[in-house]
Every structure is written in C-alpha cells, then in structure tokens.
A and B are shown apart, each in its own frame.
Chain A
Amino acid sequence: MIFGSINPAVLMAALMVAATPILLAAIGELVVEKSGVLNLGVEGMMIMGACMGFIIAVNPGSPLIGFAGAAAGGMVLAALFALLTQALMTNQVASGLALTLFGLGLTALLGQQYVGITPPRTPRLDLGPLSEIPFLGRAFFRHDIVVYLTVALVGAVWWFLKFTRAGMIMRAVGENHEAAHALGYHVKRVRLFAILFGGACAGLGGAYLSLIRVAGWTEGMTVGAGWIALALVVFASWRPWRAMAGAYLFGGVVVLQLNLQAAGVRIPVEYLSMSPYLITILVLVLISSGRARASLNAPGSLNKPFHASS
C-alpha cells in the first residue's frame, strides 16, 4: 500500500535527473585520474561552472551559451590547478583542496549581483512518439537534452579510453609515467588536456544545477556534489560505465528515500537520509571483495608527481 504511490517509471526518470550533475563531474574527474592526476578540486570547479554558466546565460539570455561559459569557467580553475601541479610540481591533494576553497569564495564574490534572479529556460527535448511509450516513455524519453548528452559523453569517454590511440596514450601516462615518457609521450601535455577536460565537465555539472535543476544562483549551491563525484570515480574503479551505474545508484537511493519519506513509510527519517551513503559503501564492498588488488584498476601513477629528469 505504501509502495503503491511510488511509480517505478517516475523513479527512474527522477534518478536520471538527480544523477546527471554528479555524473558529469565524475566522468571528467575519471579522465583526469586516468591520466594519473588526482584533482580534489571538483567541488570548486563545479561551483565555478554553476556561477559562470548562470552569469553568462543571464546576460545574453541563452542557456546554450551559458553551458559553454560554464565549461570555460571550470576550465579556468582547472588551468590554475594544472599550472600548480604540472608546471610548479605542487602537491595534488593540497592544490585540489585549495582550489575548492578558492572557487567557493570567488564565485560568492562574482555571483553577488545574481542572487534572486531566474535564468532563461532550457527547452525540454521533444521526442515525440517515444515519450508516449508506456513506462519507457516516462522513464527515459522526457528529459532535457543535457541528460542524454551526459550519457553520450560517458559512452564517448569509454570509447576514447578503450579504442583510440590518444586514449591508449592517456592510460599509459596514468599507469606509468616514466615508461610513457621513455616512449616519447608528452606526459605533461596529456595531463594538461585531461585536467582541462575534467574542469569543463565539472563546470557543466555545476551549470546543470544552476541553469536547469535548481534554476537559480546562490553561493555554495553545489553543497558537496563535487565530493560525491569524486567518490563515484573510486566507486567505479575508473570505468566510465560503472561511474554511470554508481551515479544512478546514488541518485536512485536519494530519490527512493525521498519517496519513502513522502509515502510515510515507518523507517526513521535519519536512517533514510543517510542511506545513499551507506548503500554506496555497501555496494562497493560487495563488488570489490574477493578480488585481487590488480583488478581494482587504479591508475599506477595516480597522485604521483612527474618530472622529466632528462
């Protein structure tokens, strides 16, 4: 009776939307980490994207230009991170955390004039007859375009890492930068591109919040989404499709617990509200137990500085 009011198609639709911003940021960070760099500044780049995307979308009044601006905003912070960690060889963990602090402060300053106004509306994609298919239509074919582009991006990253030469080089750089360097690959250049890509993706994830999901700008509005994205990359063992599965799992539990609350199910609210985190941990334990360390897939040079000595 309680579950009667919860419609699985609606649940599926809602979790796809809830997962999109963290998935965007996670897929970017996945590429960064695949190249051997750990950027803990995802939250900072996300909020930068949310802010810049909003400011740029509001001024000429176009959500599309807003998203481009968000990607650029994320990339600016990412470039700062690249400058520090690749050119100046700073510690990646500390630089990433500093980036988050900096991004949160900077966007609060930049966005001051933009609180309390609404962005231009992003049109909902009309998929015509597809959206009328029973169950599937409601679950999968009534979203805005960013939801689909995000899924496409996951596929593209998967294809890139697995089947392209550039992707192979990137993995080699991440796995063993000394060897990659010896083979003549430009370790730092590859990493610079990866870092910038990660910044752009995080920026887009932030803009999805400020332009579509929340449709408004308030400082600090990402409230930790960047951290969840970071956790997802680890959860995914650096595999793109698994990152998507992880994002949908996390988003799914969030949406489900809200549904259970609204349906008045007799589970204490505090347990429900912590369930997304606990279930993510639990699933990770289940899938990573009983496997050899090697299968965990962490890039070998992750978070190690590289300096070409010759």
Chain B
Amino acid sequence: MKKLLTAAVFAALATPAMSDDPTKVGFIYIGPVGDFGWTAGHDRARQELQDHFGDAVETSIVENVDYGADAERVMTQMALSGTDMIFAASFGYGPDVNSVAGRFPDVAFQHATGYIQDHPNISLYDARFYEGRAVLGHIGGKMTETNTIGYIASFPIPAVVSGINSAYLHAKAVNPDVEFRIIWTYSWFDPSLEADAAETLIEQGADVIMQHTDSTAAVRVAEDAGVMAFGQASDMVDFGPTAHLSAIVDRWAPYYIDRVQALKDGTWEAQNSWMGFAEGIIEMAPWNDRIPAELQEEADALVASIAAGEYHPFTGPINRQDGTPWLAEGEVAEDSALATMDFFVEGITSEFPN
C-alpha cells in the first residue's frame, strides 16, 4: 500500500539492449486476442509497437494464461528465453509478476492495473477509465428521455465501481432526475447474459445502456430496441449504428512505445503510471451524429479540460451513498482513494454488493 501511495520511483535498470540485437518484448494475456475487448486492446497496442520499431523489436505473446502457477511459468519461460521486457496485461497477475521479477532482476516487468511493486524492476500502469466514464455520464444524462440509465457491470472491483460513480455524478450534474439501474453479471464476458441484462434494463425503462463487460451483445440489443448505448474497450459502432453514442476506447500503444524506447535508451525505470485522456491512453470513439452538435461540443470540452488537468471528475462536494461526506467542496479525490474505491456515491439507489 505504501508503495502504491508514494508511486515510488526506483533506480534505473542499467540494461540498454545491444544496438543490433532486437529488443525482445513478451506479452501475457488473460483472454484470447480475439475477444474484441480487454485483451484485443492490448494486442492492438502490441501490433502498433511492432510496427513502430520494426526489426528493432521482437514481440511474442501467450494468450489465455490463467493467474497463478500458469502465469508464473509463462513469465519465467519468457525470461529464460531472453525476453527483455514483459507486459503482464491483467490485474490478477500481480503476485505472479512480483514473484518472477524477484528472480530475474535484469528483466523489466510492466504490470497493467496492479498495485504490488515489491521489486525495482516492476512498473505499474493503468488507465483512468473513470475520465471516460465521466464523459459517458454527461452525454447519457443529457440524451436520456426516460431519465433512466442502465448499467451492466462485471464485478464490484474498484475500477468498475469508480466508473459507475463517475458516470452517475456527471449524469446527475446535467440531469438531476437521472436514475441508475445496475446489473452485476459476475463475469467479464458472457454475451447471452449481457444481452438478457440489456433487455431487462430496457424493459425497466432505461433508454441509455452503459456496460463494463466485454461483449458487443448489449449494443446490439439496444439497437434492436431503439434505445441508446455506449460501447466498451473498442469502438462497437458496427453493432449499433444508431444506438452506439460513443465508447471509451483503450489505447495503450503510446505508453508501450514509450516504455520500450526507454528500455532501448537505458533510461527505463520502475514507475507507477496512471494515465488518461492527457496521455492518449483512452480516447472517445467518434460521436454519433444523433448527439446534438451543442452536446458534442460540451463533451469535447469536457475531454479537453480533463486532459488539460483543469478538471477532475471526482471534485467535491461528494457524499457517500449513506450521506456521509467524502470530498469537501473543491476537494479532489486522491488517486489512492480512486484505486481502492469500494462504495457508491450519494444518489445511487442500488445497494453496494457485499
């Protein structure tokens, strides 16, 4: 925890790669590269990385690697085969990354969305998805006619919870009557369950669907039902040309290229990077034409002010769901509080799981 809070910067690894030797970069993924969601986003970035460096970089991937012993083994084998840098692209790899990193101090480890940083050769990186969720909330809050927004959520973990809160706060700000209905699927990817969930939300009055699950099913259901939806991780407009208002698109490439370049230059050091609009790690899919021009401008302005650091989506006064104050007037949430968020903000009527 301490390490997370201080975002400690450790000593540089003095291992610049030989100039004529390609830098070997390994990726391990929790899902298949064809998931059109989380893993696909990371693999898009890997391909961009490969294109950027050409022969100077050699990338390799192993997909569908489970957490625990499997992940530890795959990373160890990567390290043994001379990989210079390993991207472990899922939260759950934390303990495994730390265990392998301790044994291979010369390999640079990059762990996505994690929080454990026991060794000086581990960097953590994450995206401020809640920034994107704020924009979704703003648009959704203005676009909804039934004042009901449906939210399909996976697991009650901080990244998902902060997304719900951010979307709600910004919907509420532009539409005081807005109400959120939330369904937890307890899975990241279950297309038919997500379709059923979307349908249920629509039947209960939601005319805007947001999702924090990977499949395209909800967008399609929204299209068929004639309501609106936001995609997840990728631009899902093909699945709902009318319904799809926008999506938060994961874009890890700038960061990946930057880190590999640093390794090549010998300037790589352990960091804890939490990036958003400013760094170009997340971006909004093109606005749907049905969003009024005025609202499009507002949304663009919101993105710009978040990117410029002028506005933080969690700026007080914000109360917790039970009415107790969380952030005072003008106070901005600490990163650590967002990274561990386990409560709803005031106004959300659903009970917080657990």
Residues of B within 8 A of A213 (CB): 191-192, 195, 217
Give A21's nearest chain B residue, CB to CB.
B192
User: What 18 new A-B contacts, CB under 8 Å, besides A115-B35, A214-B217?
Assistant: A21-B192, A108-B32, A108-B34, A115-B36, A116-B36, A116-B216, A116-B238, A117-B238, A213-B195, A214-B216, A218-B215, A223-B192, A254-B196, A262-B150, A262-B182, A262-B200, A264-B349, A269-B184
* Contacts A115-B34, A262-B150 given; does A214 touch B193 at CB 8 Å: no
Residues of A within 8 A of B242 (CB): none
* Contacts A270-B186, A273-B184 given; does A219 touch B34 at CB 8 Å: yes
Binding site for B on A (CB under 8 A): 5-7, 10, 14, 17-18, 21, 108, 111-112, 115-118, 209, 213-216, 218-221, 223, 225, 254-255, 258-259, 261-264, 266, 268-270, 273
Would you call B204 and A6 a contact (CB within 8 A)? yes
6 A/B residue pairs, CB under 8 Å, sorted by A: A115-B40, A215-B216, A218-B191, A223-B193, A259-B203, A268-B354
Complex: A79 Cα to B192 Cα, angstroms: 27
Tell me the smallest distance from the CB of B146 to a CB of chain A, in Å: 12
Would you call A261 and B184 a contact (CB within 8 A)? yes
Would you call A268 and B353 a contact (CB within 8 A)? yes
Tell me the smallest distance from the CB of A32 to a CB of chain B, in Å: 23
Residues of A within 8 A of B205 (CB): 5
Would you call B191 and A216 a contact (CB within 8 A)? yes
* Contacts A112-B34, A218-B36, A270-B353 given; does A254 touch B193 at CB 8 Å: yes
Residues of B within 8 A of A263 (CB): 181, 204
**Residue B264 CB within 8 A of the other chain:** no
Interface 0/1 of B178-218, CB less than 8 Å to A: 00011111110111110111011101111000000001110
Interface centre among B34, B150, B183, B195 (most CB of A within 10 A): B34
* Contacts A7-B203, A218-B36, A263-B204 given; does A223 touch B182 at CB 8 Å: no
Residues of B within 8 A of A264 (CB): 181, 349-351
Interface 0/1 of B157-190, CB less than 8 Å to A: 0000000000000000000000001111111011
Residues of A within 8 A of B185 (CB): 273
Tell me the smallest distance from the CB of B343 to a CB of chain A, in Å: 15
Would you call A225 and B204 a contact (CB within 8 A)? no
Tell me the smallest distance from the CB of B179 to a CB of chain A, in Å: 10
Residues of A within 8 A of B201 (CB): 262
Residues of B within 8 A of A266 (CB): 351
Would you call A209 and B192 a contact (CB within 8 A)? yes
Give B351's nearest chain A residue, CB to CB.
A266
Residues of A within 8 A of B156 (CB): 269
Residues of B within 8 A of A270 (CB): 186, 353-354
Would you call B34 and A118 a contact (CB within 8 A)? no
Residues of B within 8 A of A118 (CB): 220, 238-239
Binding site for A on B (CB under 8 A): 32, 34-36, 40, 150, 156, 181-187, 189-193, 195-197, 199-201, 203-206, 215-217, 220, 234, 238-239, 349-351, 353-354
Residues of B within 8 A of A221 (CB): 191, 215
Complex: A45 Cα to B206 Cα, angstroms: 36
* A-B residue pair count with CB separations less than 8 angstroms: 118
Would you call A216 and B193 a contact (CB within 8 A)? no
Tell me the smallest distance from the CB of B155 to a CB of chain A, in Å: 10
Tell me the smallest distance from the CB of B166 to a CB of chain A, in Å: 20
Would you call A225 and B220 a contact (CB within 8 A)? no
* Contacts A213-B217, A215-B217 given; does A262 touch B184 at CB 8 Å: no
Residues of B within 8 A of A115 (CB): 34-36, 40
Residues of A within 8 A of B196 (CB): 14, 17-18, 254-255, 258
Residues of A within 8 A of B190 (CB): 223
Complex: A220 Cα to B351 Cα, angstroms: 32
Would you call B192 and A261 a contact (CB within 8 A)? no
* Contacts A213-B217, A223-B191 given; does A218 touch B35 at CB 8 Å: yes
Complex: A259 Cα to B202 Cα, angstroms: 10
Complex: A258 Cα to B181 Cα, angstroms: 11
Tell me the smallest distance from the CB of A207 to a CB of chain B, in Å: 13
Complex: A5 Cα to B328 Cα, angstroms: 36
* Contacts A14-B203, A118-B220, A273-B186 given; does A225 touch B34 at CB 8 Å: no
Complex: A21 Cα to B94 Cα, angstroms: 38
Complex: A299 Cα to B97 Cα, angstroms: 51
Complex: A273 Cα to B203 Cα, angstroms: 19
Residues of A within 8 A of B195 (CB): 213-214
Would you call A116 and B234 a contact (CB within 8 A)? yes
Give A255's nearest chain B residue, CB to CB.
B196
Tell me the smallest distance from the CB of A288 to a CB of chain B, in Å: 28
Residues of A within 8 A of B150 (CB): 262
Give A263's nearest chain B residue, CB to CB.
B204
Would you call A216 and B181 a contact (CB within 8 A)? no
Out of A21, A209, A262, name the residue touching B181 (CB < 8 Å): A262
